[in-house]
Structures are given as structure tokens and as C-alpha cells.
Amino acid sequence: MSRRTTEISGLRARLLRVPLSRPWGPDVPAVHVIATTVTLTDGAEGHGLTWTPSIGAHAALALLEHDIADAARGRTADPEAVWQPLWEHLHEAGGGGLTTIALAGLDLALWDAAARRAGRSVSGLLGRRRSSVAAYGSGVNLHYPLAELCAQVERWVAAGFDAVKIKVGGPDLAEDVRRVAAVRAILGPTRRLMLDANQRWDLDRATAALDALSGYAPAWIEEPLRAEDLAGHAELARRTRIPLAVGENLHTEHRFAEYLRAGAAHVVQPNVVRVGGITPFRRIARLAREHGVALHPHLLPELSGQLALTLDAEVMVEDVEDAGFGALGALREPSPVRIDRGRLYEVDHLGLGLRFAD
């Protein structure tokens, strides 16, 4: 007799507002998390999430509660088998962005359920390849006065980070140069310094800025141009020796493939939530490996750090100061990861270990 396939019987979602102890600017005092619970026909449950700092949380919640919940019911609980048909079902509302952000809520819950059923963590289920990965200090700090920025970098150095990332892209290029010079002086010549322009430049401005900043040996420049500007990134890659990092605002494996084929990305940074969950994240990791390009996940170290432990190549995970779900008091249980002296380690847990407080 054939074994009956476990199916999805229901999906619940609830929206949480998590205040930030260190606001990401006057318009981002909190981030939004949608906590999800999937129920399966064998009685198992899985707990996942999706996330957006400030824009689109209610729209993602509506997609989960209506389109995704209805379309998922009765389908297989295998996350790798169900992701593609559900993505195709949602495609009328867009191939990426809100649709993939919402779909992550189901995908993560399904992986959590699969790992819990096996009595393992998700990294244990996928196959952990190392006991720790490097983490780098990061901050949303373009609005910080120079003294406050330097104090933040000094905290990272004292905490044992060997790499840090700061924001650039202010209206005055000379001020960007002063800030980067001050940070490099604190870091010394051996620690890595990454820069993030958050899509603030056009091609000519980016060219001039990278020429001015190249003397401070940045390990990469992140999102120098609008993420949609593939041709611009390809041209900028020809104009500068500073590696270009993209991916925070690329939402599908197809967009990552376009950037990689065009030579427009030297580092890819998929956000596990924005690309639609663990299933597409793993596809993007394979693409990066095939193209010989480094992958360093974007944000969410409690989630991306677990996946980083399973990848073939060593990666760095991003630890934004004072922004972890555990540190913000958003979790029911201790965080599934800890960061110590610039390394991320997993803490014993089942599934994803990310259940949010009521």
C-alpha cells in the first residue's frame, strides 16, 4: 500500500510590529513581522515568518490570508515541490516583491514543520557543513553624526568583528569620503570595510564616488544604483575595480541569473524572505556557486545564519546592531543563533527555532 502524501490543511498569519531600540531613521522606528503557522494533514505544525521593515506588511498579510492560504490547501507539504506551482499561481500579482515576500511565510513554515517532524533543526535537516560562520557588524547609520558613527565602529571592533559595513550616499561626496576615511582609520588596514549606497546614485555619480572612495580599500560597494538597472551595473563593473554587491532588492532566481550572466555582480546578497524563502534561496546559492561568485546573505542573521552553515562556501552573515529578534524581545524562546567575537553559532533548537511572542 502506498503511503499517503502529507498535505497542507491550513495556514494562519498574524502581523506584529517590533519596535527598534536603534531606529533605522525617523521613518523606520520599527519593523514588521508576519508570524505564520501551517497545519498539515498528519497533525503536524510548522512556524515561519515573513518580514518587511516599513512598506507592504498589510499587503503581504492579505496575500497570505487569502490567495496563498486558499491555493496551498490540499497541496503537498514538501516545500521544494509546492513552491514553484504556488509562485506561478501568484504571478498575476507580480513575479517578485510582495508575492515572494508573502510566499516566504509559507515556505519557511513548511521547512520548520519538516525539520520538527524529523526531530532536527533546519540546518541539521539540510546538512550542516560547519560549526560557525563569520559575521560582520552592520548598521543603518547614514543619518548618524560622524562621532556617533565612529563610536559604533569602535563597538564592533571591541566586540571582535573583523569586518564592518557602513552606509554611504549622502548628498555631499566629500562628507562620504570623510566618514569612510575616519572608519578606515579605526579599523586599520587588515579588517574588511564594506560600503552600502542603498541605490542612491546614478551611473555618473557612482563612478565619481567609487573613484574617490577606492583608496580606502572597500571590500565591496552594495547597491550603488537602482536594483532594476542591470545595464547600469554592468557598465559600472567595467568602470571600477571595487566589487559590486547586489541582491537585497532582487526577488527571483531569474533576476540573479541575469546579473550573473551580465557580469554585473561580484557578490550576491539574497534576502531569504524577499526571494520567497529557503527553497529559492538554495537555488540562488547554486547559481552563485556555478558562476564562481561570492554569496553573503542580506540581514536576518537568526535565519540566514542557519542557512549559511549548510552552504558549500564560507560566507559572512550580516549582524545589524541592536536589531536581532531575540535582542528586541520578539521571540518566545531564546534565539536559535548566537554571535560571539565575530562568529555566528547555532544554539540547540528544533526547526527554525523562530516562534514569535504574542
**CB-CB neighbours of 204 under 10 Å:** 10
Q: How far apart are CA 240 and CA 177, in angstroms?
A: 17
C-alpha radius of gyration, the chain, whole number: 20
Answer yes or no: 298 catalytic. Answer: yes
Q: How far apart are CA 110 and CA 45, in angstroms?
A: 8
Answer yes or no: 165 catalytic. Answer: no
Q: Which residues of 130-160 are buried (b: 16+ CB within 10 A; e: fewer)?
A: eebbbbbbbbbbbebeeeebbebbeebbeee
Cα angle: 179, vertex 182, 186; to 5 degrees: 140
End-to-end CA distance of the chain: 43
User: Cell for 90?
Assistant: 501568484
Q: How far apart are CA 138 and CA 296, in angstroms?
A: 13
Residue of 47, 251, 298, 349 with catalytic role: 298
Nearest CA to 112 out of 215, 40, 219, 27 is that of 40
Q: Which residues of 85-120 are buried (b: 16+ CB within 10 A; e: fewer)?
A: ebbebbeeeeebbbbbbbbbbbbbbbbbbbbbbeeb
Using CA of residue 312, residue 198, residue 273, residue 348, what is the dihedral sign? positive
Contact 279, 114 (CB under 8 A): no
Using CA of residue 139, residue 144, residue 148, residue 154, what is the dihedral sign? positive
Residue of 167, 233, 251, 266 with catalytic role: 167
Q: How far apart are CA 60 and CA 31, in angstroms?
A: 14
Identify any residues that bridge with 49 across adjacent strands, giving them in sequence order. Answer: 35
Identify any residues that bridge with 32 across adjacent strands, giving them in sequence order. Answer: 17, 52
Give the residue numbers marked as catalytic.
167, 298
